[in-house]
Structure 1
Amino acid sequence: MAAPELLSDEGYRADGRRPAEIRKVRARMGVFEQADGSAYIEQGNTKALAVVYGPHEMRGSRGKALPERALVNCQFSMATFSTGERRRRPHGDRQAGELVLLLRDTFEAAILTHLFPRSQIDIYVQILQADGGTFCAGVNAATLALMDAGIPMRDYVCASTAGLAEDAALADLSVPEEAAGGPVLALALLPAGGQLAQLQLSARLHQERLPRVLEAAGAACRALHAVLDRVVRQRLREVAALLGD
């Protein structure tokens, strides 16, 4: 991301943020009564929806059941209207398949799957609008949906991107920043213990520059954790009020 226009002389990005500042986040839980858990999140103009079912008995072949833990089944899709480009196969392209694997690996590191042997947990994520950090927004929505379903996890899973504008590390990249041509780092973090659930780089990055980008992504994840925690606490208050009635 060497393009100087990504950062003004005054240190502001094109959307008015400082380099370490995340986009505005709006989120809510329990958006679908039919699901065991659900959540919707907006990070800037990126909008993601997540639905969770389970734990439940294995569907299809019981031979796929794991005797010591739950099977985490994931789907990740982009709505046909989520970008300016028309998408013919929102469920079937190669990139979506790769994101499914990343999503599964991320949450297998966080969910206490050993508590539910021979069962299945389904996580469905759809991106309704894409404006940077789509996978990370999907992870954050899935975290809220899993908590809405009451599925035990080691910690929140908070995800954010980061990159570079010259020598400045930028957190929570927008589409123009992602498209500027430099490496994009995507981090999924369990913030309480600092455990990395997922780390991806879109291109090579010199090892001397990696710590700055990694720290920017980590700080963004911790900022997101504070936001997601407020959403969860608000949801708990709403549920308690309903039970009180």
Structure 2
Amino acid sequence: MNNEPTKFIDENGLRVDGRRTDEIRPMKVDIGVLSRADGSCYLEWGNNKIISAVYGPRELHPRRMQRPDAAVIRYKYNMASFSVEDRQRPGPSRRSSEISKVSSEAFEPVVMTQFYPNTVIDVFSEVLEADAGTRTAAINAATLALIDAGIPLKSLVSACAVGKVDGQLVLDLNKKEDNEGEADLPVAITQDGEITLLQMDGHLTEDEIKQAMELVKNGCQQIQQIQREALLKKFGQYEGADTEIQSVPLTETSSKQETESVDTESSELISSNILSDESSENQEESGEEQEPDTLDILEDETEQSEDNEDDSDEEDFFVEIVRNNTEGESDDQ
């Protein structure tokens, strides 16, 4: 029996699957694969095969679990019995319950739950085939499924793991590295660099943790680019579309459109003010007052004539009273 330890990194710096230490496995994404779900995504990452589905927002039962100010996110992670080599016992386990809890908390900072009070958003991630890093792969798939369901998010959430093998830090562990490695550090990060999930299995020094965080941020940026390209392929392509749009992040595109609309409104307002100021300045320079319209003159004359008629009617009324009184006095005499 050969008792020599397995070498995960050769003299050329390549791992057992041919990748370098800072490379992630190939990823394939397909959005909207389930017709009965509000949103869905199928993801292949290496030999991992994950499908995620989103249902909701819908009314939460029992009502005592409802939140009057926000929606509740229920995340369920499950591994199919046939997803691993040794058949797994069906049903929830301690591991799946733990992953479901931390994954649900990873989405709470980015999902705008305040728009859906007293409701629930159900997210299901099913592992069809496992090859290490299933929790991070499920988070990546669930993010795209939420967007496919129309749930507003503040940012994309991408997840990746970094580990330690042969005394070196490597990105995106495969199954063999995960099983026989020295440490595993799964992390979920938003586009702004906010960490929404951080777990560790094994031992790393303080310096190794700092290096691992830089390495995993690089991996998450690669995943975010794949997520953006998948979203643009699903929602951003149309006949005659500019191909350069694929290189523009979603946040930059939305902010650019908002800026353009604000600039247009501001320019219109400024131009109208400039025109009004110029007309007033021209009048002041010429020293001439604007002539009133003919219609205004006719209205003024009509009002004056009506006032005069009212005054004449009042005068005739008083004259008649005086005349009657005078005639009555003459009769008495």
Is the TM-score greater than 0.5? yes
Q: 1:68 is matched with which residue?
A: 69
Q: 1:136 is matched with which residue?
A: 136
Aligned to 2:22, the other structure's residue is in SS state coil
User: What letter matches 2:27 in structure 1?
Assistant: V
Matched, 1:49 2:51: yes
Q: Tell me how far 1:216 sits from its aligned partner.
A: 1.4
Q: Tell me how far 1:211 sits from its aligned partner.
A: 1.0
Q: 2:126 is matched with which residue?
A: 126
The separation in 2 between residues aligned to 1:153 and 1:94, in whole angstroms, is 29
CA contact (8 A) 2:162 2:172 kept: yes
**Against the structure 1 CA distance between its residues 180 and 25, is the aligned structure 2 distance closer, same or farther, given a 3 Å change threshold?**
same
Matched, 1:97 2:97: yes
Q: 1:112 is matched with which residue?
A: 112
- Structure (1/2) with the larger helix percentage: 2
Q: 1:162 is matched with which residue?
A: 162
CA contact (8 A) 1:38 1:149 kept: yes
C-alpha RMSD over aligned residues: 1.4
Aligned to 1:186, the other structure's residue is in SS state strand
CA contact (8 A) 2:54 2:149 kept: yes
Matched, 1:171 2:171: yes
Matched, 1:227 2:229: no
CA contact (8 A) 1:164 1:213 kept: no
The separation in 2 between residues aligned to 1:27 and 1:39, in whole angstroms, is 7
Aligned to 1:49, the other structure's residue is in SS state strand
The separation in 2 between residues aligned to 1:207 and 1:219, in whole angstroms, is 19
1:38 to 37, 40, 46: 40
Aligned to 1:111, the other structure's residue is in SS state coil
| 1:54-101, Cα deviation, whole Å (9 max, x unpaired) | 11111x211110011100011110011101011112x32110110110
The separation in 2 between residues aligned to 1:179 and 1:235, in whole angstroms, is 36
1:27 to 26, 29, 39: 29
Q: 2:278 is matched with which residue?
A: none
User: What letter matches 2:135 in structure 1?
Assistant: F
Matched, 1:17 2:10: no
Q: 2:78 is matched with which residue?
A: 77
**Against the structure 1 CA distance between its residues 84 and 8, is the aligned structure 2 distance closer, same or farther, given a 3 Å change threshold?**
same
The separation in 2 between residues aligned to 1:197 and 1:9, in whole angstroms, is 36
User: What letter matches 2:54 in structure 1?
Assistant: V
- Structure (1/2) with the larger strand percentage: 1
| 1:180-209, Cα deviation, whole Å (9 max, x unpaired) | 241100000102x10001000012321121
CA contact (8 A) 1:161 1:173 kept: yes
CA contact (8 A) 2:75 2:104 kept: yes
Q: 1:87 is matched with which residue?
A: 88
The separation in 1 between residues aligned to 2:203 and 2:169, in whole angstroms, is 15
Aligned residue-pair number: 235
User: What letter matches 1:93 in structure 2?
Assistant: S
The separation in 1 between residues aligned to 2:45 and 2:206, in whole angstroms, is 29
Q: Tell me how far 1:213 sits from its aligned partner.
A: 1.4
The separation in 2 between residues aligned to 1:149 and 1:124, in whole angstroms, is 13
Judge which range, 158-167 or 113-122, deviates more: 158-167
Q: Tell me how far 1:47 sits from its aligned partner.
A: 0.8
| Greater RCO (Cα-Cα under 8 Å, separation 6 or more) | 1
The separation in 2 between residues aligned to 1:86 and 1:33, in whole angstroms, is 29
CA contact (8 A) 2:48 2:129 kept: yes
List runs of 5+ in structure 2 lacking aligned partners: 240-333
The separation in 2 between residues aligned to 1:139 and 1:171, in whole angstroms, is 17
Judge which range, 167-176 or 18-27, deviates more: 167-176
User: What letter matches 1:107 in structure 2?
Assistant: F
Q: 1:218 is matched with which residue?
A: 217
Q: 2:274 is matched with which residue?
A: none
Q: 2:235 is matched with which residue?
A: 236
CA contact (8 A) 2:165 2:181 kept: no
